[in-house]
Chain A
Amino acid sequence: MKIKSLKLREAHKGSANASFCSILWDLNAHHLVTASSSEPSISIHDPLLPSNPPRVLRHHRDGVTALALSPNSTCLSSGSIDHSVKLYKFPGGEFETNITRFTLPIRALAFNKSGSMLAAAGDDEGIKLINTIDGSIARVLKGHRGPVTGLAFDPNGEYLASIDSIGTVIYWELQSGRTLYTLKGVAPDTGSDTSILNVLSWSPDGETLAVPGLKNDIVMYDRDTAEKLFTLRGDHTQPICFMSWSPNGKYMATSSLDKQILIWDVNRKQDIDRQKFDDRICCMAWKPIGNALAVIDVMGKYGVWESVVPSSMKSPTEDIPSSRSKNSNGLLFFDEEDEEDQELSMSGSLSDLGEDSHGESEPPSRKRLRKQSVIDDDQHEDVYNELNLCTKTEYRKKVHRINKESSDKERDGSRSMMTFRPKMQEAFQPGSTPPQPGKRNFLCYNMLGSITTIKHDEYSHIEIDFHDTSTGPRVPPMTDYYGFTMASLNENGSVFANPCKGEKNMSTLMYRPFSSWANNSEWYMRFEGEEVKAVALGGTWVAAVTSLNFLRIYTDGGLQKHILSLNGPVVTAAGFKDELAIVTHISDCLPSNEQMLEFRIFNISKGTQPFKGHLPLTPGSYLTWFGFTEEGQLSSYDSKGVLRVFTSQYGGNWLPLFSASKERKSGENYWVVGLNVSKLFCIVCKNPDSFPQVLPKPVLTLLNLSFPLASSDLGEEALENEFMLNNLHLSQIQKRIEVMADEGLDTTPLDDEAFDIEAAQDRCIFRLIASCCNGDKLVRATELVKLLSVEKSVRGAIQLATALKLPILAERFNNILEERLQSKTEVLKTSLPRSKHDRNVKADVAASMALTATERSEISEPTFSSSSAKLSAPLLIKKVKSSDRVKFGKPKTDGDQTACLEDSREVNDAGKNAGPSQVKNLQTQRPSNPFLKLPNNQEEKKVEEVMSESQSQGPSNPFFKSSNKVREATGIQQSHRPSNPFLKSTAK
Chain B
Amino acid sequence: MAGQSDPHISLFSAEEVEFMAEDELIEIVPNMRMDPLNFICGDFGPFLPQIATQVPMWLAVALKKRGKCAIRPPLWMSVENLTKVLEGERDSQGAFQALPFHYVEISRLLFDHARDDIPDMYMVRSLIEDIRDVRVHKVETSLEKFSGTSAVKIPNLSAMEVNIIRPFVGRALQAFYKHDNPEKIPDVDRASSGQTRVANNEPRRPLRR
Interface positions of A (Cβ within 8 A of B): 1-5, 235, 272-274, 310, 466-471, 681, 696-702
Contacts and interface: CB of A to CB of B under 8 A. Distances in A.
Given A467-B50, A468-B49, A699-B72, A310 B80 contact: yes
B189 interface: no
Nearest to B49: A467
Contact of A699 (B51, B68, B80, B126): B51
A474 to B, nearest CB: 12
Interface stretch (B29-37, B177-185, B199-207): B29-37
B32 A468 contact: yes
Contacts of B72: 699
B146 interface: no
A700 B51 CA distance: 5
Interface stretch (B11-19, B95-103, B114-122, B153-161): B114-122
Contacts of A2: 119-120
A83 to B, nearest CB: 45
Nearest to A235: B87
Contacts of B126: 5
A471 B33 contact: yes
A469 B32 contact: yes
B67 interface: yes
Contacts of A235: 87
Interface string B24-60: 0000010111000000000000000111100000000
Contacts of B31: 467-470
25 contacts: A1-B119, A1-B121, A2-B120, A4-B79, A4-B120, A4-B122, A5-B122, A235-B87, A273-B79, A273-B80, A310-B80, A467-B31, A468-B33, A469-B32, A469-B49, A469-B67, A469-B68, A681-B51, A697-B29, A698-B50, A699-B29, A699-B50, A699-B51, A700-B50, A700-B51
B83 A3 contact: no
Contact of B33 (A272, A273, A470): A470
B9 interface: no
B80 A1 contact: no
Contacts of A466: 49
Contact of B83 (A5, A274, A470, A701): A274
A1 B117 CA distance: 9
Nearest to B127: A4
Contacts of B123: 3-5
A89 to B, nearest CB: 40
A273 B122 CA distance: 16
B70 interface: yes
A471 B87 contact: no
A698 B67 CA distance: 17
Contacts of B52: 699-701
Contacts of A3: 120, 122-123
Nearest to B34: A470
Nearest to B117: A696
Given A1-B120, A274-B83, A699-B50, 19 more contacts: A1-B119, A1-B121, A4-B120, A4-B123, A5-B122, A5-B123, A235-B87, A467-B50, A469-B31, A469-B49, A469-B67, A470-B32, A471-B33, A696-B119, A697-B50, A697-B70, A699-B52, A699-B72, A700-B51
Contacts of B68: 469-470
Contacts of A467: 31, 49-50
A273 B80 CA distance: 7
A698 B70 CA distance: 11
Interface in B69-98: 70, 72, 79-80, 83, 87
Contacts of B116: 1
A466 B52 CA distance: 16
Nearest to A311: B119
A466 B31 CA distance: 9
Contacts of B33: 468, 470-471
A697 B51 CA distance: 11
Contacts of A700: 50-52
A699 B31 CA distance: 11
Question: Which of B52, B120, B121: most chain A Cβ within 10 A?
Answer: B120
Nearest to B70: A697
Contacts of A470: 31-33, 68
A252 B126 CA distance: 26
A212 to B, nearest CB: 22
A293 B51 CA distance: 35
Contacts of B122: 3-5
A24 to B, nearest CB: 27
A471 B80 contact: no
A411 to B, nearest CB: 36
Instruction: Give the 8 A-B CB pairs with smallest separation, nearest first.
Output: A467-B49, A4-B123, A470-B32, A468-B49, A467-B50, A469-B31, A700-B50, A4-B120
A698 B51 CA distance: 10
A769 B122 CA distance: 59
Nearest to B123: A4
A415 to B, nearest CB: 36
A702 B122 CA distance: 32
B174 to A, nearest CB: 43
A4 B51 CA distance: 29
A311 to B, nearest CB: 8
A698 B119 CA distance: 14
Given A1-B121, A4-B123, A696-B119, A272 B80 contact: yes
A464 to B, nearest CB: 14
Contacts of B120: 1-4
A702 B52 CA distance: 9
A3 B122 CA distance: 7
Question: Which of A5, A470, A681: most chain B Cβ within 10 A?
Answer: A470
A122 B120 CA distance: 42
B65 to A, nearest CB: 14
Interface in B119-143: 119-123, 126
Contacts of A273: 79-80
Nearest to A469: B31
Contacts of A701: 52
B143 to A, nearest CB: 29
Contacts of B70: 697
Nearest to A450: B50
A702 to B, nearest CB: 6
A2 B87 CA distance: 23
B153 to A, nearest CB: 30
Contacts of A471: 32-33
A739 B129 CA distance: 64
Nearest to B87: A235
A702 B120 CA distance: 27
Nearest to A702: B51
A244 B70 CA distance: 38
A470 B34 CA distance: 10
B121 to A, nearest CB: 6
Contacts of A1: 116, 119-121
B71 to A, nearest CB: 12
A700 B29 CA distance: 9
Contacts of A468: 31-33, 49
Nearest to B33: A468
Nearest to B79: A4
A681 B49 CA distance: 12
B118 to A, nearest CB: 9
A4 B52 CA distance: 27
Contacts of B51: 681, 699-700, 702
Contacts of A697: 29, 50, 70
Nearest to A307: B120
Nearest to B69: A469
Question: Which of B50, B68, B87: most chain A Cβ within 10 A?
Answer: B50
B54 to A, nearest CB: 13
B119 to A, nearest CB: 7
A679 B87 CA distance: 42
Contacts of B29: 697, 699
Nearest to B120: A4
Nearest to A698: B50
A471 B119 CA distance: 28
A235 B123 CA distance: 20
